[in-house]
Amino acid sequence: MFRAMIDPTAGPTNRTRATVLANRKPDLRGSRVGLLANVKRNAEQFLDEVGVLLQQRGAVGVVRRKKLSITDPVPPDILSDLVSTCDVVVVGVGDCGSCSASAVADGLALEAAGIPAVVVCSDAFSVTADAMAALQGSPGYHYVVTPHPVAPLGPEELHQRAVAALPEIVATLTTGHPRVAE
Amino acid sequence: MTAAEATADQERLDYTRAAIEYAFDQGWTDGLPVVPVTRPMVEEFLMRTSRPADEVIAAVPHLNRECTVEQAAVNAALAGCRPEYFPVVLAAWESLGRERAVGGGGWQSTSGPAPLIIVNGLIRQELRINCTGGVLGPGFRANATIARAIGLVVRNVFGIRPHELEQATQGVPGRWTLCIGENEEESPWEPLATELGLPAGTDAVTATLLRTCEFVDNRNTRNPEELLADFADTISRTGAAIVPFSSAGLVLGVEHAQTLALGGFAKHDVQQWLYEHCVRSHEDLARAGKGLDGRTGPGIDEYGLHMLPSPEQVMIVVAGARNAAMSMVVRPFGFAGWSRSPAPVEGR
């Protein structure tokens, strides 16, 4: 029945394959950490807190980069810059309708370029982050969730958020990654 | 009708109903029934344009999605458009395409913005696009289905569905219904598309995304500056201010437009007056938790903030009946302003 009815839907223009995650080391000792922030309020501050904590865990420096579009993928120059100067990258904070999806796309782009990455999204946007992962050919892509909202938090609250997220961030950037570890 | 004919008729209607249910089951609808679309129907739509069926008319690159003329036609038919509406749908996409947010994350936004599609020219009469009484409301097939055709492409072709990639916090009433004709016949000013640079009399569509409409009912004064002060109060409310500006346009009722014109105000005078007078003090902003924290820049002075980014960003269109003095403040979406880009409707 209804075989003469035209299907009004369309799929992606180009079929995308699952992204193979980058190889990971057992820990972050000696690693340079990239922090890829978007323009949402507190994104840079949160990532800075994470950067400080990661250096306490053995990382040797951070590279801060900021993405001005909340929707577009990371620009090629910033991507190549991060790939050439960093060993791992933290992406965030996915705290709006399109920037959460965009953050996931950026995490996958970094993995495809061989850089272990971790994406941080707020829990209000996990549905759209999951939808983007599926759209990118990587359903079930693992990202770290922090409670919504992030924007109105003060410095101490942001610090606590970073502390709370840190174990999972470290695991995701190392062989403790849920999809990498045996 | 014989009993046998009545039975056959009943069976055809049952089949139609089942087809509509099938479309619901496939997830193809916005919650209302859609029209089952067949290949010959699509051809009827495609015959209304000279553009190739496979031409891409809209895209959302970060989602790896594109919409062709043919996919737009399928969804216009699905929405209930008549084939002759299709050039207006295509012009709406062309105008919308110049809005930065449309090819970016606008359709996914937590604000859930609605396309506002404004039609100018004689095509309004030919297609019976309402531009007078109840212009923002229901009751007119062309208005209702042209706007819906946009929404069904967002859903079906771009794959942006509520609770998935679409993350509207509350959404906007009438999100896929805001297609209006300008009431050029009773407007004291030139049509919107003419103001924005197209030759007078051009059939054209001007579109942007809106966050909402807010009414201003003022049957109290015939003094243009008092009327403008009433608009300014609504435009300047702090709730609409976002880092730090707000956006605003006017869908003016005929009486208000004529009051302003009789008072000597051209459109650009209205824009300039509103830009100058839509101001909130630093105290007002701080009271709402929206203090500027020392931020400086255009529109910010010792007293406070000009709520509108610039005069020309105030869209002014005249629509509705000449039966009461009321208007709508409309709120274009986005931080960067709207593109002010009308698109001509392809000739017949």
Read off the pLDDT of residues A76-91 as tens digits, 9 standing for 90 and up. 999 999 999 999 999 9
> How far is it, in rounded angstroms, from Cα B84 to Cα A129?
40
**Long-range CB contacts for residues A63-66, cutoff 8 Å, separation at least 24:** A63/A32, A63/A33, A63/A34, A63/A35, A64/A35, A64/A37, A65/A34, A65/A35, A65/A36, A65/A37, A66/A36, A66/A37, A66/A38, A66/A39
Per-residue confidence at A182, pLDDT binned at 50, 70, 90? very low
What is the predicted pLDDT for the residue at A71? 78
Give mean pLDDT, residues B6-21: 97
- Dihedral angle sign, alpha carbons of residues B286, B289, B294, B296: negative
Question: Is B29 part of the contact surface with chain A (CB cutoff 8 Å)?
Answer: no
CA distance A30 to chain B (A): 34
What is the predicted pLDDT for the residue at A176? 82
**Cβ-based contacts of A9 with chain B (< 8 Å):** 26, 28, 156-157, 159
- Please answer whether residues A71 and B335 qualify as being in contact, where contact means their C-beta atoms are separated by less than 8 angstroms: no
pLDDT surpassing 90 at residue B89: yes
pLDDT surpassing 90 at residue B170: yes
What is the predicted pLDDT for the residue at A7? 96
**Of B66, B335, B44, B104, nearest in space to B211 by CA:** B335
What is the predicted pLDDT for the residue at B347? 83
- b/e code A57-72 from CB counts within 10 Å (16+ = b): eebeebbebebebbbb
Of B37, B63, B168, Cβ closest to residue A5: B37
- Please answer whether residues B189 and B131 qualify as being in contact, where contact means their C-beta atoms are separated by less than 8 angstroms: no
> What are the beta bridge partners of residue B226?
none
Whether residue A135 and residue B159 make contact (CB cut-off 8 A), yes or no, is yes
Per-residue confidence at A97, pLDDT binned at 50, 70, 90? confident
Read off the pLDDT of residues A30-50 as tens digits, 9 standing for 90 and up. 999 999 999 999 999 999 999
Read off the pLDDT of residues B195-228 as tens digits, 9 standing for 90 and up. 999 999 999 999 999 999 999 999 999 999 999 9
Per-residue confidence at A11, pLDDT binned at 50, 70, 90? confident
**Cβ-based contacts of B36 with chain A (< 8 Å):** 2, 5
Give the three-state DSSP class for B249: strand
Question: Given the structure tokens 């990258």, which residue do they identify?
Answer: A89
Question: Is A129 part of the contact surface with chain B (CB cutoff 8 Å)?
Answer: no
Per-window interface: A 89-108 vs B, CB < 8 A:
96-102, 105
What is the predicted pLDDT for the residue at B103? 86
Read off the pLDDT of residues A50-69 as tens digits, 9 standing for 90 and up. 999 999 999 999 999 999 88
Looking at chain B, the whole-number percentage of residues with pLDDT higher than 70 is: 99
CA distance B37 to chain A (A): 5
Per-residue confidence at A153, pLDDT binned at 50, 70, 90? very high
Would you tell me the crossing angle of helices A155-173 and A43-56 to the nearest 10 degrees? 60
pLDDT surpassing 70 at residue B348: no
- Helix or strand (DSSP H, E) at A135: helix A126-135
- DSSP conformation letters of B50-76: -S-TT-EEEEEGGGTEEEEHHHHHHHH
Give the three-state DSSP class for A111: helix
What is the predicted pLDDT for the residue at A143? 95
